[in-house]
């Protein structure tokens, strides 16, 4: 099986979704379709609406009358459900990881393992790519991206090195970026450091955290009472947003309380402890190692 088709935390997420036959569900991150296929296996005569902005995902479409594919970012969830005449759904699933297919596709520029164009666009019709960001953003803006999205301690030094390099030659490839920042990399931590650099750039290119917030806000409007939302995250920035929103219905995690001191939240947290992949799953699919699943139920 191609790595594109290995769904992360499949059993845990679909079980947590509690699929009801005849219900309406959303797979916000279709990808290889692994989660969607398992939802359909339990769906009876219901409907599944799957979102993905990546053109490559269209190669994995499922031939099923209950399946509706929407080639757009999940941030437009509410609008497209309305287009299909759907006001409320019985559950939402989102796996926020970049697929192994995209990481292994050198020309997409997601991985520092290859020397290819600095792209990193999930939607290849989008205007802004990683190269444009590196060559046009101010040193202050670059430092902010690497500090906030990569949690890189020497973000200022890193941004300075990039600006110094681009004044000599435009940064166009992943190899050029690696050369530009090599003096910033702590000894023995090259892969971990570069992973943070590439993560930060990818988040900025695709506006990932804003899209996640818009998905969560939309879930408040489209989930039925008792419906569940399952989110799989892969780094602390995403996980913090999801954790706070499930806890309090806002991104600061500050819950309102009623007159008696009871916490007022639009969700009931299903798993108080985050769900992680088993050692066997990580062995079979190493990209699952950082995955965290959180499940909440709309009150």
Q: What is the residue range of 121's domain? A: 103-206
Q: What is the pLDDT of residue 230?
A: 98
- 235 shares its domain with 93: yes
Pick the last residue of a domain from 176, 206, 236: 206
Q: What is the CATH number of the domain that holds 55?
A: 3.40.50.150
Pick the last residue of a domain from 206, 241, 261: 206
- 96 shares its domain with 114: no
| Mean pLDDT by groups of 10 residues along the chain of 299 residues | 73 98 98 97 98 91 98 96 98 89 62 85 90 98 98 98 98 96 95 95 96 98 98 97 96 88 90 97 94 98
Q: What is the pLDDT of residue 298?
A: 98
- 183 shares its domain with 197: yes
Pick the last residue of a domain from 206, 233, 266: 206
Q: What is the pLDDT of residue 219?
A: 98
- 79 shares its domain with 222: yes
- 108 shares its domain with 202: yes
Q: What is the pLDDT of residue 100?
A: 62
Location of structure tokens 């596709």? 105
Distances in Å between the Cα of 29 and the Cα atoms of 50, 60, 64 are 7, 12, 18
Q: What is the pLDDT of residue 124?
A: 86
Q: Considering its fold, how many domains does the chain have in total?
A: 2
Q: What is the pLDDT of residue 213?
A: 98
- 19 shares its domain with 150: no
- 53 shares its domain with 191: no
Q: What is the pLDDT of residue 4?
A: 56
- 73 shares its domain with 220: yes
- 113 shares its domain with 202: yes
Q: What is the CATH number of the domain that holds 196?
A: 1.10.150.170
Distances in Å between the Cα of 66 and the Cα atoms of 23, 63, 152 are 11, 9, 45
- 90 shares its domain with 112: no
- 202 shares its domain with 110: yes
Confidence (pTM): 0.92
- 114 shares its domain with 199: yes
């Amino acid at each position: 099986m191609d790595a594109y088709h290995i769904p992360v935390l499949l059993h845990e997420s679909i079980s947590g979704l509690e699929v009801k036959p005849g219900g309406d569900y959303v797979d916000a991150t279709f990808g290889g379709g692994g989660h969607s296929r398992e939802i359909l296996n339990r769906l009876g005569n219901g409907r599944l609406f799957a979102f993905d902005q990546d053109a490559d995902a269209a190669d994995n479409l499922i031939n099923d009358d209950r399946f509706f594919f929407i080639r757009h970012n999940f941030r437009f969830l509410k609008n497209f459900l309305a287009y299909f005449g759907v006001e409320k759904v019985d559950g939402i699933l989102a796996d926020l990881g970049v697929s192994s297919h995209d990481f292994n596709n050198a020309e997409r520029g997601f991985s520092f393992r290859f020397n290819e164009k600095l792209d990193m666009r999930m939607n290849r019709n989008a205007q802004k790519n990683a190269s444009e960001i590196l060559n046009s953003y101010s040193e202050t803006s670059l430092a902010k991206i690497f500090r906030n999205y990569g949690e890189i301690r020497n973000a200022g030094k890193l941004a300075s090195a990039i600006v110094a390099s681009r004044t000599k030659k435009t940064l166009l490839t992943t190899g050029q970026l690696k050369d530009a920042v090599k003096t910033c990399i702590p000894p023995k931590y090259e892969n971990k450091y570069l992973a943070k650099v590439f993560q930060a750039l990818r988040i900025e290119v695709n506006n990932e955290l804003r899209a996640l917030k818009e998905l969560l806000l939309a879930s408040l409007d489209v989930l039925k009472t008792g419906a569940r939302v399952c989110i799989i995250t892969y780094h602390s920035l995403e996980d913090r947003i999801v954790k706070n929103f499930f806890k309090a219905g806002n991104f600061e995690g500050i819950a309102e309380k009623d007159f008696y001191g009871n916490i007022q939240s639009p969700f009931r947290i299903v798993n108080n402890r985050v769900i992680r992949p088993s050692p066997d799953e990580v062995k079979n699919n190493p990209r699952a190692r950082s995955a965290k699943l959180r499940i909440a139920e709309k009150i």
